[in-house]
Structures are given as C-alpha cells and as structure tokens.
Amino acid sequence: MDGNINKSAPSKAEKKKGKGKMDARPPGFRFYPTEEELVSFYLRTKLEGHFPDLARVIPVLGLYDLEPWQLPQLAGELCIGDTEQWFFFVPRQESEALGGRPSRTTASGYWKATGSPSHVYSSDNRVIGVKKTMVFYLGKAPKGTKTMWKMNEYRAIGEEISTSSSTTIPKLRHEYTLCRIYITSRSFRAFDRRPFEGVTRDIET
C-alpha cells in the first residue's frame, strides 16, 4: 500500500460550509453571563469602545422609547429565541447629560425602581458596579398596574474600589447602562441558578 496518500485541499465551498457549521450555535447553547461578566467585560468594553462588534451580542437601544414586550425581537444574535432574558446597552438620555433625572416612561406605562441599589462584585471582592432593579407598570404613575416585566440596570464605576472602605463613594460611569430585561415567574429562572462556587458573590435584592 502506498504510504504517500494525496489529500486534496478543501475547496472554497467546503471551507464555507465548514465555517457555517462552526458558527452555528450548538443545541442547548444559551447566552449565560454572570453579573461580574456583564459589568467587568461587556459594559466596560462598551464604555471603552474596544470591541465594535459588541452590538451583535448586546445591541444599543433607546429602551424607554419602546414597550417591554417589543424588546425580545430586538435582542442581539445570541439572545434570539431566548424566552427568559434579553440584554441591551442604553445610552445616556439628554436630560441626564444636563444633570436631570432619566425618563423611564413609555407610551403605555413606566418603569419603577424597587428596593435599594446593590453593588456588583468581582471574583476578588472588589466593587465594580451598581445594580438597580425595576418593575414595569401599565398606566400612569402612581396608580399604574404592576406587570411581570422586570429589569436589572447595571452601571460601571469609573474606578474600582475596595469593599473594605465603607466611606468611599464610587464614581459611576453614565455614558451607557447595561439592562437585562426578563419576565418574572414562579419558577427559578436559569439566570438565578448559579454555580455553587459563585453563591457567595450574589447580592440579595
């Protein structure tokens, strides 16, 4: 038997076909970032402008110009078809840039903050951001009807601070926030099911 077996190089069509298989998401794949990853990588990368293609994963959207049920179809490529959560970068509003408060009112309702803001920690116990949780209400404030739509709004801090300094006030970055939209249910969402080693990093809200 001849040991010198000629193997022809793959054609352009074969390469393209193979590339398509590699780019396709395998069964069971879900975009499943931790809160640390959302702030320390995705939000910080957006703020620094290092990764222009980031919009394919998390698009920029004027979230408060839309109703929450319109948002899933506008999610990034990795969240298309997800039935639990959707992520967006939200640019700072003009009123905010001028020192005012952001408007979280839509045509049919409004987003209302619930609870107190909480810190987001890195794996080495540094404060890297702040999370605010909001609920969507139908109607006009303050007599709106509560819905099952919720949002986690994340802001990164300009300088990462140590949790040992309780008197230090973090300087927040306001150019963009990262928002996670989801629908509450009576069962645990996949986002809430953390690996065991990450349980101590979670913040109760």
What confidence score (pLDDT) does residue 142 get?
Answer: 92
| Average pLDDT estimate for 136-152 | 96
32-197 carries CATH number 1.10.260.40: no
Residue 26's pLDDT band, with cuts at 50, 70 and 90, is low
| Residue 192 pLDDT exceeds 50 | no
d(CA 53, CA 72): 20
What confidence score (pLDDT) does residue 162 get?
Answer: 54
Share of the chain above pLDDT 70, in %: 70
| Average pLDDT estimate for 3-17 | 45
pTM beyond cutoff 0.75: no
Residue 117's pLDDT band, with cuts at 50, 70 and 90, is very high
pLDDT digits (tens, 9 = 90+) for 146-168: 999 999 999 999 864 555 555 56
Report the half-sphere exposure of 78 (CA within 13 A, side-chain side): 14
Domain boundaries defined on the chain: 32-197
Q: How far is CA 152 from CA 38, 50, 98, 113, 134, in A?
A: 11, 24, 24, 10, 6
Sheet holding 145-162, edge to edge: 85-91, 176-183, 145-162, 126-138, 109-121
More confident residue, 100 or 18: 100
